Amino acid sequence: MKKEIANYEILETISENGPVSVYLAIHKILNRKTLLKVHHSDDTKLIKRFEEEARIVADLDHPSIVAIYDYGRASQNEFYISMEYVEGGNLNSYLENHDLTIDDKIKLCYQIGNCIKVIHQHGYIHRDLKPQNLLVDKEGFVKLTDFGISFHESLKRTTPDGKLLGTPLFMSPEQINNLPVTKQSDLYSLGVIYYQIFSESNPFDAPNFGEIFSRILSFCPEDLSKVMPETPDWFSKLTNSLIEKEAANRPESIQKVTSIFEQNIQMENGNNDSGKVIKRKFNFSYFLVPILIIFSVVFYFKQFNKIETKSDLSDSLSTLSSLQDSLKQNPVNTNNITETDSSKVNIPITENIENTPNNQIQQSEKRETKFFINTYPWCRVYLNYKLIDTTPLKDSIIVKPGKYLLGLQNSGYPSWSDSIEINKNMTNIFSYNLDSIFYKLELTVQPWGKVFIDGDYYGTTPLNKPIVLSKKNKTLLIENQYYNSYTDTLIWDGQPVISKNIILNEKIKN
């Protein structure tokens, strides 16, 4: 580990993710602790993204956003951003270490919403909202960080080259399908965070990315008020609206979301409400602390005439690019396969995979070979979660030999993944028929019922389309509060479509 970088003494290594290292450091002159993100690369594309992150953080300049202190070039291929160090931890660790009441959680969610409001008011879309990027200080104040894959809404872009960016458990359906990302995509991720804060689990959690994506695209989580009965109805309805599959069905803006908080906090707490307490924290202290700092800095400079050496932000930013989350751990190498740990599905999928050094593919096999895939029906084809092409392919795909995780996506089916090995010196051909992998369940229930399969909620009948399932045996449960519950084991009988007509028995009245 380096002892010094530019004017900073390194105290501790927080994380190392490919070309990006994150340190706890201290400024040698000002004696101020800082979070130092260092980018080691000569890749102009990555440097440009690093620059963009610095620009965004500098542009936001708000107490709800982790602040930027300094930026510079330490050596030929070494760039750094010095940012505010928040003593405390991320949202996950805060929830684990604090026994919060329902009111405490509501206030916490309101603060998180205000963080999002700041970036949306400036026209930015975060694209990677998750508990790890929300820092909570010792006073319980929330700050948003990591703008490595953020962009301004005026660009109206999808992910370059079809590469998935974000963290799977918190990605919106449109992100998974590589459709244009909007502010409503951030609202979806916000809704998942809200759901997790109250239910203490992520509704889309699954052993692998394929199943996570499938659940995000097709699974409807149960109402929070049923998972956690103490949850206020208004908050449960708000969370449900945030995690709607269609972006158009979500709230039109973050302002609408925070206004719902303010209206209901006022109603529940009267004149001396928590909303006002929160607002005081967001106003008075923000002005007092910066004023004191300004006077202290002016006095210091006059007395000692020592000026901190800073890089010229406007001149230097043209040579930088974005970086990974300072608190991300266990990066996925999306060019080359790694064994997926099913207990660690909260893994970022990012664009700078080519520079990640810990590749587990056989490095001795340098020669490229051909890979071809046939599917029915059409599918998006992913290798290690990186979009390669869409079938039917026009030509073979050139890849390095080795082991890969193949992913197939079609909007009418759950996502499918398979481990494959691509051999050198030959054309590797793979064929998949989704109709032979999945079957469709056509379900009718009289009079009506809530449908659960293996404990997952699929909706209330009448369903608007068949349920697509893998061929493993599953447990079907139908619930209606006025009728006896119905349970059955779903066993695939070899047919592509299975129809079930269920008549519920009325409960016997005492």
- One digit per residue, pLDDT tens: the chain, 510 residues? 568 888 899 998 887 776 778 889 999 999 999 999 888 877 777 777 788 888 888 888 899 999 888 888 888 778 898 999 998 889 999 999 999 999 999 999 999 999 999 999 988 999 899 999 999 999 999 999 988 777 777 654 444 444 556 788 999 998 888 788 899 999 999 999 999 999 999 999 988 877 888 889 888 999 998 999 999 999 999 999 999 999 999 999 999 999 999 999 865 554 333 333 344 344 444 455 556 666 665 555 555 444 344 444 334 333 333 333 433 343 433 333 333 333 333 333 333 333 333 333 333 345 788 889 999 888 989 888 778 888 888 888 888 899 998 989 887 788 888 889 999 877 789 999 888 889 889 999 999 999 999 888 888 898 888 899 988 889 999 998 888 999 999 988 878 889 999 999 988 765
User: In the prediction, which pLDDT does 368 show?
Assistant: 83
Angstrom CA distances, 297 to 82, 255, 306, stand at: 18, 36, 10
CA 424 distance to own-chain centroid: 36
User: In the prediction, which pLDDT does 2 show?
Assistant: 61
Report how far residue 376's alpha carbon sits from residue 79's, in angstroms, rounded to the nearest whole number.
47
> For residue 130, which amino acid is it?
K
User: In the prediction, which pLDDT does 300 show?
Assistant: 52
Rounded CA Rg of the chain: 25
Report how far residue 197's alpha carbon sits from residue 239's, in angstroms, rounded to the nearest whole number.
11
CATH of 437-503, one of 3.40.720, 2.60.40, 1.10.1760, 3.40.50: 2.60.40
CA 439 distance to own-chain centroid: 30
User: In the prediction, which pLDDT does 210 show?
Assistant: 78
Report how far residue 211's alpha carbon sits from residue 363's, in angstroms, rounded to the nearest whole number.
29
User: In the prediction, which pLDDT does 288 show?
Assistant: 58
Question: CATH homologous superfamily for 89-280?
Answer: Transferase(Phosphotransferase) domain 1 (1.10.510.10)
Buried b / exposed e over 400-425, threshold 16 CB at 10 Å, is bbbbbbbbbbbeebbbbbeebebeee
Contacts for 203 with CB less than 8 Å, ≥ 6 apart: 192, 195, 196, 215, 219, 221, 222, 243
Report how far residue 262's alpha carbon sits from residue 274's, in angstroms, rounded to the nearest whole number.
9
User: In the prediction, which pLDDT does 366 show?
Assistant: 52
User: In the prediction, which pLDDT does 310 show?
Assistant: 41
Question: Regarding the domain delimited by 353-435, which CATH topology (the fold level of the hierarchy) does it fall under?
Answer: Immunoglobulin-like (2.60.40)
User: Under a CB-based contact definition with an 8 Å cutoff, are residues 182 and 125 in contact?
Assistant: yes
Q: Looking at the structure, give the CATH architecture of the domain made up of residues 4-86+305-319.
A: 2-Layer Sandwich (3.30)
Contacts for 402 with CB less than 8 Å, ≥ 6 apart: 336, 337, 361, 362, 365, 421, 422
Report how far residue 386's alpha carbon sits from residue 239's, in angstroms, rounded to the nearest whole number.
30
Contacts for 190 with CB less than 8 Å, ≥ 6 apart: 112, 113, 116, 129, 242, 254, 257
User: In the prediction, which pLDDT does 364 show?
Assistant: 36
DSSP 305: -
Report how far residue 244's alpha carbon sits from residue 179's, in angstroms, rounded to the nearest whole number.
16
Rounded to 5 degrees, what angle do the CA atoms 420, 425, 429 make? 40
pTM: 0.55
Q: Counting runs of H as helices and runs of E as strands, what totals does the chain give?
A: 12, 25
Same fold, 4-86+305-319 and 353-435: no
Query: How many residues does the structure list for the chain?
Result: 510
The token duo for 10 is: 């390194």
Count of CB atoms within 10 A of residue 141's CB?
A: 17
CA 83 distance to own-chain centroid: 22
Sequence spans of domains, the chain: 4-86+305-319, 89-280, 353-435, 437-503
> For residue 67, which amino acid is it?
A
Beta strands in 18-132 (DSSP E): 20-27, 33-40, 68-75, 78-84, 88-90, 124-125
Bond preceding residue 357 cis, omega within 30 of 0: no
Query: Is residue 273 classed as helix, strand or coil in its secondary structure?
Result: coil
DSSP 130: -
